[in-house]
Amino acid sequence: MSVTLPSSVDAWREVRARRSFQGKLPLSAFKRLGDVVASPEGDVEYELDFGRDDLGVAYVAVRAKASPTLICQRSLEPFQLPVEVDARLGLIVEEREEASLPPGYEPLLLEQDGKLDPLATIEDELLLALPLVPVNPDAELPEDVTRPEEEETPSPQDPSDNPFAALRGLINK
């Protein structure tokens, strides 16, 4: 087990060695995630396990936990959303191999050389776990939005205000 996360690994070598990586990284280490969250503060706990299952399928198991600060789209206030990822990614080299993955596996398309960026893999899974429209479950709508509107009574219209009154005059001729 390794605490340091390399910038690139040979996925096939890691699978043969049944290698694991785990540790904690700051949210600021994930550039694309930093573009989505309201604040780059906080940490991501991660664990990557490479191996083969009983059917011989090469995989990387990705587990990550984070509590990024997002902007609630209801109240426009920042809030922390706990996010947990637990995914098993089947390693494939060609897209047609995706159909042979067992249920419960997501495909991870590798380059022919088998190089894998572990940081980008964790980041991809965290981005997929975030909601498209973040809403704080504890947020309440502002009072000016939730209070009932005063009933407006329609004012009687003067018949001359009706834009179709001129048409009525043409029909009656």
Question: Is 156 a domain residue?
Answer: no
pLDDT confidence of residue 171: 75
Strand segments, DSSP code E, in 27-163 are 43-52, 58-66, 69-71, 78-80, 83-92, 105-109, 115-116
Across the range 59-79, mean pLDDT stands at 94
Instruction: Report how many domains make up the chain.
Output: 1
Contact by Cβ (8 Å): 25, 6? no
Question: Is 43 a domain residue?
Answer: yes
pLDDT confidence of residue 162: 73
Closest by CA position to 88, among listed 59, 64, 110, 109: 59
- Map tokens 């018949």 to a residue: 159
Question: Is 160 a domain residue?
Answer: no
Range of the domain at 124: 9-135
Question: Is 159 a domain residue?
Answer: no
d(CA 111, CA 32): 21
Is the pLDDT score of 159 beyond 60? no
Give 167's pLDDT tier (boundaries 50, 70, 90): confident
What pTM did the predictor assign?
0.76
- pLDDT, tens digit (0-9, with 9 covering 90-100), for 9-35: 999 999 999 999 999 999 999 999 988
Is the pLDDT score of 73 beyond 70? yes
pLDDT confidence of residue 158: 61
Question: Is 31 a domain residue?
Answer: yes
Q: Which two tokens stand for residue 27?
A: 């949210």
Question: Is 145 a domain residue?
Answer: no
Q: Which residues of 91-116 are buried (b: 16+ CB within 10 A; e: fewer)?
A: bbeeeeeeeebeeebeebebeeebeb
d(CA 18, CA 50): 5
Question: Is 162 a domain residue?
Answer: no
Give 154's pLDDT tier (boundaries 50, 70, 90): low
Q: Which residues of 2-22 are buried (b: 16+ CB within 10 A; e: fewer)?
A: eeebeeebebbebbeeebebe
Question: Is 171 a domain residue?
Answer: no
pLDDT confidence of residue 55: 92
- pLDDT, tens digit (0-9, with 9 covering 90-100), for 75-124: 889 999 999 999 999 999 999 999 999 999 999 999 889 999 999 999 99
